[in-house]
Amino acid sequence: MRDRPNVPIKPAVRRTTLAVDVVVLSPRADALAVLLVRAPVGAREKWTLPWDAPQPGEGLEDAAARIASAALGTAPAYFEQVGTLSDGRRHPGEADVSVGIAALSPASADAPMEEAEWFPLAGLPALAPRHRTVVDRAAAVVRQRVDQSPLAFRLLPPTFTLSDLQAVYELLLGRRLHKASFRRALQASYLVEPTDEWHSEGRGRPAQLFRYAPRKRRGARRGVRFDLFTE
Amino acid sequence: MRDRPNVPIKPAVRRTTLAVDVVVLSPRADALAVLLVRAPVGAREKWTLPWDAPQPGEGLEDAAARIASAALGTAPAYFEQVGTLSDGRRHPGEADVSVGIAALSPASADAPMEEAEWFPLAGLPALAPRHRTVVDRAAAVVRQRVDQSPLAFRLLPPTFTLSDLQAVYELLLGRRLHKASFRRALQASYLVEPTDEWHSEGRGRPAQLFRYAPRKRRGARRGVRFDLFTE
DNA sequence: TGACATTGGTGACGAATTGTTACTAATTCG
DNA sequence: CGAATTAGTAACAATTCGTCACCAATGTCA
C-alpha cells in the first residue's frame, strides 16, 4: 500500500447501463423454486432470470414488480433488495450494473406464463454468471432473514395451517423443527391469529387455518445474541 | 388493478447516472458518528456524504473504499451495501441511482482530512434528501445486523477491552446490557481470545485486552426465533 | 363396525439458557 | 490507609427450550 495523494476527489456522476434482475421464489414440490424465463434464441444460455431496465421515474421495486408480473402473470407479495453487482461477471443484457431483487410468491399462485418455468433451487440450468450470483445472494438473504422479517408468511396463501407454516420454515432453514417447540414459540410471538375455518386434506385430523396478524409485542428486549455468525 | 396485456417484455438495458454514497460510521464521544464532507460553494446544503461514481471496471465496494479513504485519510475496515435508491429524492450530484454503502471505522482511526468532519447521528446538519435516506438506512442496517455479523468488532481497534466491546454494543442497540450476561454470552460464542496485554486507563482495575478471533462453532442449531420483527 | 394409520394439537418435566445479585480483585486518589 | 472506581466472576432464580407422552379427529380397510 503506497501513499495516496492528499487531494480531495471532485465527485461526478457517470453514465452506466443498469438492469434489475428479479429472483422470484416460491415453494414448489417441497423445495424452494426460482422462476426462469426462456432466453431469446442465440443467447449463450437457454434460461435467464426475469430482468429489464427500470423505466424513467420508476422505482427499483416497482420495476421488479412489473418484471415479475410479466413472467408470473400476477405480482409477487413481497420484494427485497439482495445487493447491487458491478463486477466482471457477464450479464445476459451486458448491463454494467445489476440490482438484484428477491420476490416472494405464495405456493398457491397461478401457473407462470408461457415462456416461464419453475426450477428447484438445487437444480437450476446454466445461467449467465451474473444471474447465478444474484440467485445465490437471494437465497442466502432469504434464509438469513427468515427470523427477522415475516418472509415465511409471504410464501403462503393468506390463510394456512401451522403445519404449512412449519414446512416453509423447514424449507428455508434446511432442517427439521420440533412441532411443540415451534408452536409454543409462535404462540409467544403474537404473529398469527386463528380463523374459524378448518382445512381437511384427506387423512388425519383437520387443521385449523390461521392468518398472519402481527400484534404489538411486549417490550421486553433480550440480551445480545452472538449467534448466527455463519461466515 | 386492471388487466395487463399478456405480452412478454423485451428486456433492454438503459443508460442512467450512478453514484456511490458512503456512510462512514465510527464511535465518537459515546455516540455513533457519520463522516461528512464540505459541499462545494453554491450547493444547496453545506455538507454531503462522501460520494462519487465508480470508475470503469471498479467494483462498488472498491469505489466505496476509494471514496471513504479520500475523506478519512485511511481505508475503513468493513463495507456493507445498505440498499440502492432510485426515487424522486434529490441527490447532490443529480444521480438517477445511488448505491448506499455503510463503512465501519474504528474509534482509534486518525482524524479526518481537512474538508471532512464527524457528526453524531442524532445531530446531523441538513443533507440532500437522498443522502438523508441513505444515512437512515445505513444506521438501520447496522443496528439490525449487529448480532448476525461481526460489525461491532469493526468499530474497535484490533485489541480492545470487554468493556469497550460492550459499550459498542450498547451504542448500536441503544440500550444498556448486563455485564455478567454479556460476558457469559461472549464466552460461549468463541468469538474473542485474550491477549497478554492489559490496559490501564487511570482509575480502576486494569482490563485485559482481547482480539477478535472467531473459532469454529459447535454445530448445535437452535429452534426458530420469531424475535425481532421490529416493523 | 371397529381396529389402525395418519395428521393435528397440547401438557408437563427436566435441561439449558438467561437475568440478577452480590461478591472479589486491582488500581488511583486524597 | 480507606474511599472511589473499574474489572471480573460465582452462584442462584427465573425463564425458555427440547423432548416425550399423550389425546383428538379424521380416513382406510378388513
Q: What is the pLDDT of residues B131-158, one digit of tens each?
A: 999 999 999 999 999 988 899 999 999 9
> Count of CB atoms within 10 A of residue B189's CB?
17
| Pairing mode of beta strands A47-48, A31-38 | antiparallel
Contact call for residues A49 and A135 (beta carbons, < 8 A): yes
Which A residues 133-172 touch B at CB under 8 Å? 144, 146-150, 169
Between CA A14 and CA B27 the distance in angstroms is 33
Three cell numbers written together for B103 = 463503512
Alpha-carbon separation of residue A226 from A54, B190, B195, B221 (angstroms): 39, 9, 21, 13
pLDDT by residue (tens digit) across B153-192?
Answer: 999 999 999 999 999 999 999 999 999 999 999 999 999 9
Per-residue pLDDT, averaged over B68-73, amounts to 95
**Which residue in the block uniquely carries the three cell numbers 412441532?**
A179
Strand ranges inside A4-128, DSSP E: 14-28, 31-38, 47-48, 51-52, 78-85, 97-104, 116-120
pLDDT by residue (tens digit) across B3-61?
Answer: 444 445 678 878 899 999 999 999 998 899 999 999 999 999 999 999 999 999 999 99
Between CA A176 and CA A154 the distance in angstroms is 20
With CB atoms and an 8 Å threshold, state whether B147 touches A223.
no
Contact call for residues A33 and A48 (beta carbons, < 8 A): no
Nearest by CB: A14 against B18, B66, B229 = B18
| Pairing mode of beta strands A159-161, A207-212 | antiparallel
SS3 content of chain A, % helix, strand, coil (to 5): 25, 30, 45
What are phi and psi for residue A141, nearest 5 degrees? -65, -45
The confidence score (pLDDT) of residue B3 equals 44
Nearest by CB: B191 against A86, A188, A226 = A226
Three cell numbers written together for B149 = 455479523
Name, in order, each residue with C-beta under 8 angstroms of B49's C-beta and a sequence gap of 6 or more. Answer: B21, B22, B23, B34, B36, B37, B127, B131, B134, B135
With CB atoms and an 8 Å threshold, state whether A18 touches B18.
yes
Q: Which residue is nearest to nucleotide D16 (CA to C1')?
A: A185
Contacts of A6 in chain B (CB under 8 A): 113
Between CA B87 and CA B231 the distance in angstroms is 22
Straight-line distance from the first to the last Cα atom of chain A, in angstroms, rounded to the nearest whole number: 27
Q: Which domains does chain B have, with CATH numbers?
A: 18-145 (3.90.79.10), 156-212 (1.10.10.10)
Of all residues in chain B, what percent carry a pLDDT higher than 90? 75
With CB atoms and an 8 Å threshold, state whether B19 touches A37.
no
Q: Is A14 exposed, middle or buried (0-12, 13-18, 19+ CB in 10 A)?
A: middle
In chain B, which residue's Cα lies nearest the Cα of A55? B14
Name, in order, each residue with C-beta under 8 angstroms of B231's C-beta and a sequence gap of 6 or more. Answer: A149, A150
pLDDT digit of tens for each residue in chain A (231 aa)? 444 444 456 788 788 999 999 999 999 988 999 999 999 999 999 999 999 999 998 999 999 999 999 999 999 989 999 999 999 999 999 999 999 999 999 987 677 777 999 999 999 999 999 999 999 999 999 999 998 889 999 999 999 999 999 999 999 999 999 999 999 999 999 999 999 999 888 789 999 999 999 987 666 678 898 875 554
Three cell numbers written together for B143 = 443496528
Category of A126 on φ-ψ map: left (φ > 0), alpha (ψ -120 to 50) or beta? beta
Name, in order, each residue with C-beta under 8 angstroms of A61's C-beta and a sequence gap of 6 or more. Answer: A79, A81, A101
The confidence score (pLDDT) of residue B5 equals 45
Contact call for residues A138 and A55 (beta carbons, < 8 A): no
The confidence score (pLDDT) of residue B212 equals 97
- Determine which helix (DSSP H) or strand (DSSP E) holds B72, and give its type and residue range: helix B60-72
Contact call for residues B23 and A23 (beta carbons, < 8 A): no
> Count of CB atoms within 10 A of residue A150's CB?
16
With CB atoms and an 8 Å threshold, state whether A222 touches B226.
no
3-state SS of A57-72 is CCCHHHHHHHHHHHHH
Straight-line distance from the first to the last Cα atom of chain B, in angstroms, rounded to the nearest whole number: 27
pLDDT by residue (tens digit) across A62-87?
Answer: 999 999 999 999 999 899 999 999 99
